[in-house]
Amino acid sequence: MKDFPKIMFASALGFIIAYILLGLIMMIVFAASAGSIFTSLDTKGSYELKDNSVLYMKLTGTIQERVVDDELSSLLGDQNSVVFGLNDIVGAIRKAKNNDKIKGIYLEPGMFSASPATLAEIRQELEKFKESGKFIIAYSDSYTQGGYYLASIADKVVVNPQGMLELHGLASVPMFYKDALDKLGIKVQVFKVGTFKSAVEPFIQNEMSEANRQQITAYLNDIWSFMRNDIATSRNIAPAKVDSLVNKMVAFNKTDTLVAAKLVDTTLYETEMKAYLRDMLELEKDAKINTATIQDMKSVNSKKIKKTENTIGILYAQGNITSGNGSQNIQDKYLVDQIEKLRKDKDIKAVVFRVNSGGGSAYASEQIWKAIGDLKQEKPVVVSMGDMAASGGYYISCIADKIVAQPTTLTGSIGIFGMIPDMQGTSNKIGIHTDEVKTHEYSDFGNIFRPLNEGESAMFQKYINNGYDLFLTRCAEGRGMPKDSLAKYAEGRVWTGNQAKQIGLVDELGGIQTAIDMAAELANLGKSYVVFEYPKLKPFWEEFFSKNKEELVAKTLKETLGESYEMFMLVKNLKEQDYMQARIPFDPNIN
């Protein structure tokens, strides 16, 4: 089965990867010749914070769980490819709260991408910042919905007089490929368990099933209710009024109507906004405003923390779950090795397992589940769910002592599927024919140029059924629920963190700090502990010159293909993938 299907798209994909990698190398060589970048790596000095400063939070690009400094993007000045680490943003806000030299936050959300759960994590940290009595002011030429959700917490929300504010609610717009595949002569043979297991629908349908429409409607409305209520509370507007404004598409209204609706406090040009900020800081006209960026704050008070005998480890698991030894995505052998190191480390008294994954290989998920179970036998394990921890992401989480999720996290999706392409139609269209000689009835199983026969289909469905039963068993045992009770919440259905808490799939609502506090309590650490993140992130230059070039290629592909990356990698890895997949759709496409 590991050889299935060997010839699929290999040449084309190899060419694409080589082309992208060559382009990357050429950019680095060009940049090196222009500025000799390698002399500047690892030579950044610490930032000296000045009195009467503000934390300048200009958000562009994308926000991920955590990132290394990307010297290449910085060198090329590509603002669209800027990637912020959520941990760096949260860390900057916390440092700003506790540093007397920082008087407030100037929040400028631009065009950036982040999920509702990530936005909630940042917004909660901004709320805690306000408890210090320091100010938060927000300004933008054009607020995206996510940007405004963050900005609404500010003491004063300002928009450019000629700007706009995008507030439209939430929608999910999945793509369907059935007709395109039909034109290519490709049929996808699907085997699944779970009425709501919708990951296969784009390959076999042209629209959502009613079950899928039902679950998407439920979780979109639940996510929106939290975002709407947060906005309403911060802006002192009734939730129903927020919905009314959303239905009027305020983005296309004049900015004075935004003021009248109490969505913003006033309109100012940028020069006027800076003058207002100087007044807040009690500065003279045209005086320099001392600012510190998120990047600057990383080196403020950055004395190297040493591990103690009371250490909490945060283990990050982000991306698609696959088999392998690499650090890109969640590769089972690599992650199991990291878990084992944490288990054997006597200084680490508890582990927060930070999961941000829509799942993947059921086989790889089982290996990680086992390793987490072994870890749990020796020290407390608390899962902190990020944007999503669904399907395989829930599989690897369910055995933990406690599970913490944001209300807007996507989780659950306890279901299994498998897909095998039938390209007989394609071969007929282009005039390719196959023949066979075999020694046994199923010797040619996996031949993609014919459909599965009745016997093969029955065996494959049984295989999927067995995988689903094991998945249910793992979740029921992990959550301490009767299997038949948990089964009612399975069937592949996706839940928000809020819904999951109500039905017992999640223990507590909150962010990563909530999980850390819970882990410390379970380990009886009190307040005397330090926190370390695992695995160690590799700098860009180390990745580039390492022997494992696949890691760099994967990163390059992800940045180049964006949302299409997971779809691309599934096609590329069909010959290596476990037949059985435990994952939600490739992209919930919530916007």
Residues with catalytic roles: 197, 391
Instruction: Give the helix/strand (H/E) hosting 302.
Output: none
107: Cα separation from own chain's centroid: 22
Tokens of 226: 């939290």
Mapped onto helix, strand or coil, the DSSP state of residue 312 is strand
**If DSSP codes are grouped into helix, strand and coil, which group holds residue 582?**
strand
**Six-digit token string for 476:** 């029921």
CA distances from 235 to 89, 141, 241, 250, 408 (A): 23, 19, 11, 16, 20
Q: Rounded CA gap, 366 and 382, in Å?
A: 18
Q: Three-state SS for 186?
A: coil
φ and ψ at residue 187, rounded to 5 degrees: -110, 135
Q: What are phi and psi of 583, to 5 degrees?
A: -155, 155
DSSP 462: H
Within 8 A by CB and 6+ apart from 62, the residues are 82, 83, 84, 112, 113, 114
Residue 128 and residue 58: Cα distance in Å, rounded? 19
Task: Give the CA radius of gyration of the chain.
Answer: 25
Q: List, in order, residues 6 or more apart from 118 with CB less than 8 Å away.
A: 63, 86, 386, 387
Q: In Å, how far are 180, 244, 272, 486, 562 from 247, measured between CA atoms? A: 34, 5, 31, 38, 30
| SS3 of residue 404 by DSSP | strand
